[in-house]
Amino acid sequence: MNQVFALLALSIFALPAPAQRTPAQRTRVVLLGTGTPNPDPDRSGPAVAIVVDSSVYIVDAGPGIIRRVAAAERKTKLAALKMPKLTIAFLTHLHSDHTVGLPDLMLSPWVLGRTSPLEVYGPPGTQNMVEHLQAAYAEDIDVRLHRGEPSNKTGYVTHAHEILPGVVYKDSLVQVTAFAVSHGKWEHAYGYRFDTPNRSIVISGDTSPSDAVAEACNGCDVLVHEVITEAHLAVRTPDWQAYHRSYHTPAPELGRIAAKAKPKLLVLYHLIPTDFNEAELLGEVHRGFKGRVVVGQDLGVY
C-alpha cells in the first residue's frame, strides 16, 4: 500500500505545470478578410482584428465582416471576438471595399447583445458616412427600440472620430498611431501602428510604395501589407497599369519597402489578383526582402 501511495505522489509531482501564455499569445493578428472588390468567396473584404488579451480592435470593415468575425471566434475560441466586444474600429480610408461592412459592424453586434456604442476612428469624411448610415437604418433602429422587439437602448449608437496622423487612440492595452500613406487620388488614407504590451503591429491599408510604412514599422513584429503581383500588372492594359501603380504596391516594390522596415514577419493581404501564383508572388517579394513572408489567409492568426 505504501508503494501505491508513493507512486501516486510521484505521478502528481510529475504532472506538467499549468500552461503559461507566451508573449505572442497576448497579442494576436487575426485576418478577417484578405480580399479586394473582386468577389472571391475564399477571400472576404479587407478587415483585420488585433486581439490583445480580452480586447479587440478592428481595422477596416469590408463586406462580410461580422460573419468573418463569427467564423474567427469559432475557429480560434478567442473570447475577444464575441459580438458584445466589437466596440472599437479604425478605418484606413473610405473606399467601398473597406467600408461596405460598416453598417454590419454598427448594427449586427447590437442585435446580438452589444450594449456599448461603437467607436469608429477614421479620416475626414467618417462622420458624414456614419451619420448617413444611421439615417439609412433609422426605420430598423426605431422598430427594434420602440415596437416591441427585445433590444437594449444603447448598443446601436455609433460615435465617429475624425482623425489626423499621430496618436489617435490609447488605453491600458494599446496605443494606436495613424500615419499618412499615398493611395492614388484619396486626400486622406492612413496606415496604423498598434503598440501593445508585447508586440508592435503595422497595417498598411491601401497604398502605393511608401517609405512612411517602413518608418512606422522600423523593426516591428508584424507588418500586414497590401500587394499586387508584377506578373499581373504586366498583362493589364496601360490604363490599368497606371491606376494600379498609383494606388497599390507591386510585390518587388514591397520587397524594397520591407527591407527598410525590417519586420520580424511580413503578412501579405489585399491580394491582387485573387488567382495569383503563390510561389511567383513570394519570389517577387523576396527579390528585395530576405526576411520571413507569409501569404495571408482569411481567418489566419499571426
The pLDDT tens digits of the residues spanning 223-275 come to 999 999 999 999 999 999 999 999 999 999 999 999 999 999 999 999 998 88
The verdict on residue 210 lying in a domain is yes
The verdict on residue 230 lying in a domain is yes
Q: How far apart are CA 116 and CA 155, in angstroms?
A: 5
CB atoms within 10 A of CB 273: 16
For residue 258, the enclosing domain spans 25-295
Crossing angle for the helix pair 278-286 and 251-261, nearest 10 degrees? 50
pLDDT at 110 over 70: yes
The verdict on residue 233 lying in a domain is yes
158-213 pLDDT, tens digit each: 999 999 999 999 999 999 999 999 999 999 999 999 999 999 999 999 999 999 99
The verdict on residue 206 lying in a domain is yes
The verdict on residue 302 lying in a domain is no
What's the structural domain count of the chain? 1
Return the amino acid letter for 276.
F
The verdict on residue 144 lying in a domain is yes
Q: Would you say 196 and 173 are in contact if contact means Cβ atoms under 8 Å apart?
A: yes
The verdict on residue 267 lying in a domain is yes
Buried b (16+ CB within 10 A) or exposed e, 32-49: bbbbbeeebeebbbbbbb
- Three-class SS of residue 196? coil
pLDDT for 12 equals 37
The verdict on residue 53 lying in a domain is yes
Q: Would you say 255 and 285 are in contact if contact means Cβ atoms under 8 Å apart?
A: yes
The whole-model pTM stands at: 0.91
Q: How far apart are CA 70 and CA 74, in angstroms?
A: 6
Domain of 175, CATH number, reads 3.60.15.10
Helices (H), 112-161: 126-136, 138-146
